[in-house]
Amino acid sequence: MGKGSLISDRNGATPFLAHASGFLVVFFLSMWLRVVPLQSDPILQGYLQVTTGLLAFVFAAVTLVRFQGTQDRISLILGSGFLLSGTLLTASSLLFFIALAVPGGRAAAASHVFAALTVVEVRRCSPGWRRPAAPAGCAD
C-alpha cells in the first residue's frame, strides 16, 4: 500500500493528439460554415437582445439575493452591473422594435437621447474626481 503510482502509465502524446484533433475538427467545421449563405433577420436579433436583457436581470437577481444573504460587496457590484446592463439591453431592444415599426428617424433620435441620459445618470451617481469621499450609491 502506498508504493504504487497514482498516475497511470499513459503516453505523453495522447493529450496532444486529442487537442490537435479537436482543433482540426473545429477548424474544418468553421471553414465549412463560412461558405454557407446566411441571411440576417432583424426580428431574430431583437428577440436575442430581449432574451439577453432578461437573462441579465436573472443574473442581477441572483447576485443581489446573494448580497442580501452574505453582505459581500462583490455581489453588490456584480448585481448592480448586471442590473444596469439588463436595463440597457432591454431598453435598447424596445427602441429597436420601435425603429422597425416607425419609418421615420424619431426612434433613432430617441435611442440617442436614452443613451445620453444613461451616461449622464451613471456619471452623476458614480463617485469621481468631484466628490472622492462620496458613497458609491446614488441616493439623491
Domain limits of the chain? Answer: 42-125
> Cell digits for 50?
430581449
In percent, the amount of the chain with pLDDT more than 70 equals: 60
- Spatial contact of 56 and 89, defined as CB atoms under 8 Å apart: yes
Judge contact between 127 and 135, C-beta under 8 A: yes
Element (H, E) at 138: none
What pTM does this model have? Answer: 0.51
Q: Mean pLDDT score of the chain, rounded to an integer?
A: 76
Q: In the structure, what pLDDT confidence band is assigned to residue 74 with cuts at 50, 70 and 90?
A: confident
Q: Which residue has the cell 453582505?
A: 71
pLDDT digits (tens, 9 = 90+) for 81-140: 888 888 888 887 777 777 666 665 555 566 666 676 666 666 555 555 455 555 555 554
Residue pair 107/98 in contact (Cβ under 8 Å)? The answer is yes
The contacts of residue 82 (CB under 8 Å, 6+ apart) are: 56, 57, 59, 60, 63
Q: Which three cell numbers stand for residue 118?
A: 444613461
